[in-house]
Amino acid sequence: MKISRKAESEIPEFSSHVLAREYFKNRYGNHFVMMSSEVIGDQKVYFYSLILNRKVFEDGQKQMLKDGFMADALDFMNSYQPVEIFEDGRIHIIH
């Protein structure tokens, strides 16, 4: 389910965050989750996680909140793929 570079090259261009988010939500459903947002430069950037392994992802988040660290950080990092969507619709997928 991870977005490959080839799959990324086939994603259409978007004119807004709303249209890009809609595309990813339609394609990945509840596996595509917004984590946070912040203003960078002059526009807002939305940070999403494409969840690849929900159990590892949720367990890692719980452990981080409870203990302040993760025993298995590498497994956690491999449980999701970060996707950034800019207010103007540009996307940046972390591979």
What is the rounded CA–CA span in Å between residue 56 and residue 93?
Answer: 21
What is the rounded CA–CA span in Å between residue 53 and residue 74?
Answer: 13
What is the rounded CA–CA span in Å between residue 71 and residue 6?
Answer: 33
pLDDT in tens, 4-49: 999 999 999 999 999 999 999 999 999 999 999 999 999 999 999 9
Q: What is the pTM of this model?
A: 0.93
Q: How many CA atoms lie within 13 A of 11 on its CB side?
A: 24
What is the rounded CA–CA span in Å between residue 90 and residue 68?
Answer: 33
Looking at residue 89, its pLDDT comes to 98
Q: Which residue has the higher pLDDT, 6 or 68?
A: 6
